[in-house]
Amino acid sequence: MNLILTAGPNNALTLQWNQVSNATGYKVYYATVPEGPWTAFPGTVTDNNTEDGIVTYPLGQSQQRMFYKVTSLR
C-alpha cells in the first residue's frame, strides 16, 4: 500500500493510497514519531470510487510533523 501525502491550497493535506482488493474500509493512524504510539482517526474510511484504484482521505491542516499508516478492514 503506497502512501502519498500532498499539500493543496492553504496547506490542506490529503493522504492517498492504493486500494486493497476486497477491503470493506480502512483505518488511518497518526503518530509524532515513526515508532508510535499510534492514534486512530475517528471512524472508518470508505472508498466511494472503486474503479480508480486509489483511496483519498482529507487530513486537513497540521502544524507539526506527523507520521501516518493505514490498515485495511475486511
Residue recorded with cell 477491503 = 23
4-7/67-73 β-pairing: unpaired
Residue 38 predicted with pLDDT over 90: yes
Residue 30 predicted with pLDDT over 80: yes
Mean pLDDT, residues 19-35 taken together: 93
Spell out the domains of the chain, with CATH numbers in brackets: 4-73 (2.60.40.10)
Render pLDDT for 53-67 as a digit per residue (tens, 0 to 9).
999 999 988 767 899
**Largest Cα–Cα separation, the chain:** 35
Mean pLDDT, residues 25-40 taken together: 95
pLDDT for position 64: 76
The CA-atom distances, in angstroms, between 67 and each of 4, 28, 48, 55 are 12, 11, 25, 18
Q: pTM of the full predicted structure?
A: 0.87
Cβ partners under 8 Å of residue 48, min gap 6:
none
